[in-house]
Amino acid sequence: MKYRFYLFTLLIFTLTSCEKASEVEDSQIANAIEFGGLKVSLPSNYNKSVLSLSLSDLQNQFYSASTVGLLKVKSSEDMGITLERMASLTDNVLSKYPNLDSLSANDISIIKRDFIGMDEKSIPENIDVIDSFYTALSRYDLVRALSTENLSPSLVRSRVTAEYLGYDLNSEEFWYFVWHPALVSPIKKATNKAKELTDSNFPKIIAYQNKADAFRHAIWNVLICKYIGEDKNEISDCTKKAEDFTTKHETGATKPIGMTDAGWELDKQMDLHNNAQGRKYFESVAWIVKVGIFKVKRVRAPSEEEIVSGIKGKLNSAQKINTANDTSKYPSNIVYIID
């Protein structure tokens, strides 16, 4: 008798569970919208418009919602947030969504939940649309998180050092990261590693306009390409992303008090030139592999030790420059200003 009772109870539970699952699925289908040719179910409390927000839309949202009432700032002005804090906020936002570069069983389950009718075999075929969907959501989330931060440049500046890596993000860098949230972590990793390798290879030397400084900029760009490449399928995509960010870093920097315009331009062109030399080196040593259960293409590069050796080797043919225009004389050489 007890056996029959338990069997009956199990049957009722199973039927009820299936009915509830069916109700959830029916609800998802009813609330589904089209995105990139696919049917998707938006998370609760999200509007369809979130998926089509432009950078300008996100900026307007940020400046209107900011708790400190920030005015729009020029590209050369600090936004009052460090790279480290931006990375922390971004990591928190991205943790809500599937990691498309290393899909776990849970990630696949989330994708199948959000994309109506999606199965595992369809994921690789639609990965670009899936990525666009979650990127749009993460941009929106990041702006909301940043809007509640106390972004006071003077307050943040008092907490950080004058070190190369202890800078506040300028406006161009800030908005680049909002639009490309997945790049914050690899760029932060590359930035920290570049400082570490410069300090260890040029101990007791202040890296400023000399070969140590040139090494730092070149290897910074190589490492950005390398770490971004962990989830990119084209070498050119890595170098393009690295160029975009590091150029914003240089052109958005503020001229030090007391430095002449000519001196500032010379310093900037040295950095831009050595950044490019690092990316050229990366292109010469990187390769493509296929990884994961879906055998997707990914970019790979030599170890940090091999990269250090390669960049230090290029320093043997480094050229000294005296004017900003001198960089054009040495298209294949690292350059420096001070011996």
Kindly report the number of other CB atoms within 10 A of residue 78's CB atom. Answer: 23
The total number of residues shown for the chain amounts to 339
DSSP 268-310: HHHHHHHHHHHHHHHHHH-EEEEETTTTEEEEE---HHHHHHH
What is the per-residue pLDDT across 239-280, written as a single tens digit (0 to 9) for each? Answer: 999 999 999 999 988 888 999 999 999 999 999 999 999 999
> What does the pLDDT read at residue 163?
46
> What does the pLDDT read at residue 41?
95
Domain positions in the chain are 31-179, 183-339
**What does the angle CA 41 – CA 46 – CA 48 come to, to the nearest 5 degrees?**
70
d(CA 250, CA 269): 9
Q: Where are the alpha helices (DSSP H) in the chain?
A: 2-30, 55-65, 83-94, 105-114, 122-125, 127-147, 153-157, 171-179, 184-201, 211-228, 235-251, 261-285, 304-315
Percent of the chain with pLDDT over 90: 71
Q: Band of the pLDDT at 162, cuts 50, 70, 90? A: very low
Rounded to 10 deg, the angle between the 235-251 and 211-228 helix axes is 130
**pLDDT at 9 > cutoff 60:** no
| 42 Ramachandran zone, left/alpha/beta (phi>0; psi -120 to 50) | beta
d(CA 144, CA 139): 9
> What does the pLDDT read at residue 233?
87
**Tokens coding 219:** 């290897």
**What does the angle CA 198 – CA 201 – CA 206 come to, to the nearest 5 degrees?**
55
**Tokens coding 2:** 């007890």
d(CA 299, CA 143): 30
Instruction: Return the higher-pLDDT residue of 195 and 17.
Output: 195
Rounded to 10 deg, the angle between the 211-228 and 304-315 helix axes is 140
Q: What is the average per-residue pLDDT within 85-114?
A: 94
Q: Band of the pLDDT at 80, cuts 50, 70, 90? A: confident
**Tokens coding 134:** 């979650």
Q: What is the average per-residue pLDDT within 116-122?
A: 93
d(CA 180, CA 136): 10
Q: Band of the pLDDT at 159, cuts 50, 70, 90? A: very low
> What does the pLDDT read at residue 32?
87
Give the pTM: 0.86
**143-147, 167-171, 222-226, 241-245: least confidently modelled range:** 167-171
